[in-house]
Structure 1
């Protein structure tokens, strides 16, 4: 199915990378369900940018299964067709500050639990809520947003990285489970992006160091990362599932 014929749910679309993901899919003609938890103004402004016939902004905490079910039902009613692609981008609250993160001897399991609930639980809720519609359509794409920190743990984001690693495991097990129904599940993993809310406080010297370590000699932009998501939602990847594509300028090579 061409991207222009799809209805795409992007979680955490109100700001940051989510907004760039939305613009990438909008450029290809998709109809968009822009989920937000608290960034209402930004999400509604983004939806207005695309037009009421092409996008709606819907509030839901993806960690709450009932709210996600209501989101999916509302989107179906609005567009008259099911969501066929899900981009799991939303994150629970997290401080991307390596200097302030708890080290191995100080972090508690509660921190891990919060990240697992938001990252793994949130993705599970969106997938389960949209599966009936994908089955009706006979087609589905799920794109999970990961991190290159599983391969290159340069900052001690223990809880965040563990939850994203679990999301990669779920990506592969769900790909095997759902493949016979023509529903594909893949992951895109990035590193430091220039620039998002998460990297806004990053010193210029760090950006220069990362850029110098990549074959492309630059830090990946959110727009470049978002474009890679289009691959997994397009017919060009119709035989690809269970994969993790690292989009970081070649810093990490699988």
Structure 2
């Protein structure tokens, strides 16, 4: 068959790619913000297992050192919400990693409080712990990646930013803002070769969550999910790995929900009954 000269220089859409190879991250420098425990620890393992050289960032020096010992990553301690520390981080990252290809930011916490009892300090705290570090990562990381020819940025949002829940108002508003920031960054930075995405987990059985939910809370959340289970940190790390890898080379500006199907259902009030398949 004679090739159309108008399409001669275009990529071959029928060429079979190396799919496992697209998951590999060999030779890539990656910063993980909040690497010391839970999802951050798991994603540090995931990235290093796939060949990346990781700068494991945590506010607690001992946690950063421990995950670095486990994975062969480089430990770095500092406050990702501080402009001074963010500048120091990128200076050190360029010295230790050379080119930084990706940032994975999992930092976030919540104070569960009734909306009418939420104080100005509560609101500001959520904006800082959920949103500010992401802005700094995009600002400094974006400048570095533009200069180096592209990269990826992946954040952890929450289903709390997609739906409403009691005592989640300040947290949910900050996570919704994070998702808006991700979309805007993807639009602005996409032409410069930078992909920006987020993962939105539901309940994840991290050390912090398990501490306050306990066995009863685990059963309640598992029963609420169509998959009848609660996510493990490794489940979220797997989604972050996908979005960071070249398997997601054409994915940007997206929020991947990983909640066991909870947000897919509408809780119609139903009597107890067995519903036979048909």
Q: Work out whether the TM-score is over 0.5.
A: yes
Secondary structure class of the residue paired with 2:155: strand
Q: Does residue 85 in structure 1 map to residue 102 in structure 2?
A: yes
For the residue of structure 1 that corresponds to 2:212, the secondary structure is: coil
How many angstroms does 1:132 deviate by?
2.8
2:261 maps to which residue? 250
Alignment of 1:162-201 (within 5 A): 162-201=173-212
**How many Å apart are 1:152 and its aligned residue?**
3.8
Counterpart contact for 2:30–2:53, Cα < 8 Å: yes
Q: 2:88 aligns with which of 70, 85, 92?
A: 70
Q: TM-score, normalised by structure 1?
A: 0.89
Tell me how far 1:49 sits from its aligned partner.
2.0
Deviations 1:75-108 (A, max 9, x none): 21112x221111121236x44xxxxx43122212
Structure 2 counterparts to residues 36-75 of structure 1, below 5 A: 36-37=58-59, 39-51=60-72, 55-75=73-93
SS in 2 for 1:203: helix
Once the two structures are TM-superposed, the CA of residue 247 in structure 1 deviates from its matched residue by 0.7
* TM-score of the pair, normalised by structure 2: 0.82
1:174 deviation in Å? 0.7
**Contact 1:89–1:144 (CA under 8 A) maintained in structure 2:** yes
- 3-state SS of paired residue (1:216): coil
**1:23 corresponding residue in structure 2:** 45
Aligned in 2, Cα 1:24/1:175: closer, same or farther, shift over 3 Å? same
Q: Distance in 2 between matches of 1:78 and 1:23?
A: 19
- Once residues 56 and 118 of structure 1 are traced to their aligned partners in structure 2, the CA distance between those partners, rounded to angstroms, is 23
Q: May I ask how many residue pairs the two structures share in their alignment?
A: 243
1:121 Cα deviation from its structure 2 partner: 1.3
Identify the residue that residue 13 of structure 2 maps to in structure 1: none
The answer to whether structure 1 residue 3 and structure 2 residue 14 are counterparts is no
Q: Aligned pair in 2 of structure 1 residues 150, 128: CA closer, same or farther (>3 Å)?
A: closer
Rounded Cα–Cα distance in structure 2 between residues aligned with 1:155 and 1:22:
32
Q: Output the CA distance in 2 between the equivalents of 1:173 and 1:131.
A: 13
- CA offset digits 1:135-154 (Å, max 9, x no partner): 23312111110111133433
For residue 238 of structure 1, report the CA deviation from its aligned partner: 0.9
C-alpha distance in 2 between matches for 1:8 and 1:220: 24
Alpha-carbon RMSD: 1.8
Report deviation, 1:199: 3.1
Aligned residue for 2:118, secondary structure, equals: coil
- The answer to which structure, 1 or 2, has the higher relative contact order (CA under 8 A, 6+ apart) is 1
Q: 2:269 aligns to what?
A: none
The SS at the match of 2:209 is coil
CA drift at 1:61: 0.8
Of 14-23 and 147-156, more deviation after overlay is shown by: 147-156
Assess if the C-alpha contact under 8 Å between 1:115 and 1:159 holds in 2: yes
Do the aligned partners of 2:39 and 2:206 also contact (CA within 8 Å) in 1? no
Structure with the greater alpha carbon radius of gyration: 2
Residue ranges of structure 1 left out of the alignment (5+ in a row): 96-100
- Per mean C-alpha deviation after superposition, the further-off stretch among 186-195 and 164-173 is 186-195
